[in-house]
Amino acid sequence: MCLPDFMHATRSFIPALFLVLTLGGRQANADWALVTAGKAGAVIHHAANAPETAQLAAKEIQHVIRRATGVELRITSSSESPAIRIVSDSALAHDSFEIRAEGQDIVIAGNDDLVPSKPDTWFVPSHGTLFGAQEFLERFTGVRWLFPGELGEDVQHHDTLVISLPEVIRSAPDLAVRSLAYVGESDKGTAGRPKSAVFEWMKRQRLTNALHSFVTGYGHSWDDYITPADMEAHPEWKSSNGEAVRNGRVKFFCTTAPGLIETFARRVIESLDRNPKREMASISPTDGGGFCTCERCAKLLGKDPHGKVNHSLVMLTFYKQVAEIIQRERPGRRLGGFVYYNYQYPPSTAPALPDNLSLCWAPLNYYGYGLLKPVYREEFERVMQRWSGITPHLFYHNYSTWMRSFHGAPLPPSIDILQRELPAAAKQHAWGARMVGTSAWGVNAPINYILSKQMWNARLNVSATLDEWLQRAYGPGWRHMRQLDDELDVQMRAHKEAQSPVYKGSQYEVNEEVMKNIYATLFPAMEQHYRSALAECRTETQRQRLAMFGDNLTQLHFALRKAGLIPAHAQSIFQRDDAAFAAFMTGMESTFSLYRDDLGIDHGPVWKGEWSAP
């Protein structure tokens, strides 16, 4: 079939590698008429004992083709042709797939292994046929899943659906573990904003954290293993620089104290034995500062590139000693440890780490658009390369295009960061990534979408992908929204470049300073871009999607006005008095428009400095 115009324009960023072959049993460029004049021209086939992944792949194909054509292709396990055949193939690489022609059929083959071939394999369950089905649908029906829910499923109508497959299509992910967080997957949800819709969207973006119970073990966890009673029995374990126990939980201890390592490792083993299916256990420190600087620990301290005390050698030594015990006592079990906070930079020399340990680099300096600061842009890939050389299982975790934004402020996509970050992780052979998005889908869906796509294909053309998302979401008025994004990018970059390179928690907050410097200044222009885009929407669906963006501008306008950052009586289509705004927020409770977490969608007035939970 002929590709739609937008696919010709954006084909460079479709995540697949192409190999031109002669197709056995059928001439190259032959066509498959899947739907003609309202009638099905093929079935969807999988084996009777097909794994759940292959069955889900068949249902996805059936669903989208029905939405696109009104015709339902029958799913069968009997031998029929022509067919779209879903085939599980363990010979293919992890999560990979290929789409090829065989006689009268189109074959979508993928690795669907749900258990490792060897007990000690660094393994993540594989879902290749599902990803192959999604590639098939995006490529040949033009479907895009822009955001969760039916409104976010952009399906093009086809009276006739004819597939031309002149090439074998092969694809595999650049990162084995692909996780997107803070997009509503762990919130309570509502009737109109169910978590299930978020997980469906995540599956369709090929995110591993939506598909299986695998949990990367990097969370702050010292208090899971050492108890207040231990600290009372062993006062010599207490950190020389910070409180040991807070709110009944152990926070910090001396990692070089005699006997501490052995007790800690024994508790980790006990935890692993209680949870035999857990893929990894975390041995990461408590969040924040308070690490020991006793005479033994001081010998392991250094300086980071910015002159601050660097605890990374202390942490790596601790990780190594614990991991070696686990490797000996529980071979095949995996551990994860953060390199973060005042141990985010690698030491000048590092110990050789055992293979059962993965390090998760969480560069705190780069949180909240910190990578826009020149000093951090310059060092970024060099630091990642160094960490990659220290651990063969590097995991990357960042809040790079995220700020805590409760009041409707659209976050800029930051093309600069997106072009820099995950491509570097793939280049340095990172094992996986956990990126942080936002549950304010009305304004920030493009960031969630691009991050997801990049974790599969780090060579993605980010700017073209943003353009396509805007075109598909808003129709002809998309250029106004792209201009709005570009203006936000410019303002955020200027704000960050003027900011001190010394990290502070307030630097990733959309607080009063950010509201004043960026959003109050840009609000009139944002409103004009919105109104211009709305005037050019051609369909009700496009208007509804753009209205989700407008919902955020309503919230933002109210917050700015209440904070005294814009005139109280400034003319705006988003103006609401207190009563009207309260009614508006009630109506937003069950939508995907605004930021939502377990506290709901209303987090009070704009705050100064750093936000703290009530």
Q: How many angstroms separate the CA atoms of 342 and 472, rounded?
A: 43
**570 lies in some domain:** no
**607 lies in some domain:** yes
**190 lies in some domain:** yes
Q: Is the backbone peptide bond immediately before 82 cis, with ω within 30 degrees of 0? A: yes
Whether residues 60 and 152 fall in one domain: yes
Q: What's the whole-model pTM score?
A: 0.93
pLDDT value at residue 120: 61
- Among 172, 206, 231, the domain boundary falls at 172
pLDDT value at residue 268: 98
Strand 334-340 vs strand 309-310: parallel, antiparallel, or unpaired?
Answer: unpaired
User: Which domain does 452 fall in, by range?
Assistant: 173-215+363-552+586-614
Please, are residues 202 and 183 in contact by the beta-carbon 8 Å criterion?
A: yes
Across the chain, mean pLDDT equals 92
**162 lies in some domain:** yes
Whether residues 385 and 351 fall in one domain: no
**229 lies in some domain:** yes
Whether residues 445 and 469 fall in one domain: yes
- Among 329, 357, 385, the domain boundary falls at 357
Whether residues 343 and 370 fall in one domain: no
pLDDT value at residue 20: 28
For residue 461, the SS3 value is coil
Whether residues 514 and 602 fall in one domain: yes
**76 lies in some domain:** yes
- Helical (H) or strand (E) element with 81: none
Whether residues 161 and 179 fall in one domain: no
- Among 314, 336, 357, the domain boundary falls at 357
Whether residues 288 and 255 fall in one domain: yes
Low-confidence ranges of the chain (pLDDT < 50): 1-29
Q: Which amino acid is residue 2, in one-letter code?
A: C
Whether residues 295 and 420 fall in one domain: no
Q: How many angstroms separate the CA atoms of 246 and 489, rounded?
A: 41
Q: How many angstroms separate the CA atoms of 499 and 417, rounded?
A: 17
Please, are residues 596 and 438 in contact by the beta-carbon 8 Å criterion?
A: no
Whether residues 342 and 407 fall in one domain: no
pLDDT value at residue 217: 86
**565 lies in some domain:** no
Whether residues 307 and 272 fall in one domain: yes
Start-to-end CA distance of the chain, whole Å, equals 56
pLDDT value at residue 214: 67
Whether residues 543 and 614 fall in one domain: yes
**453 lies in some domain:** yes
Report the CATH number at residue 56.
3.30.379.10
Per-residue model confidence as pLDDT tens digits over 226-257: 999 999 999 999 999 877 888 899 999 999 99
369 Cβ contact partners less than 8 Å away, ≥ 6 residues apart: 400, 401, 403, 412, 414, 417, 492, 496, 508
The domain tally of the chain equals: 3
Whether residues 145 and 12 fall in one domain: yes
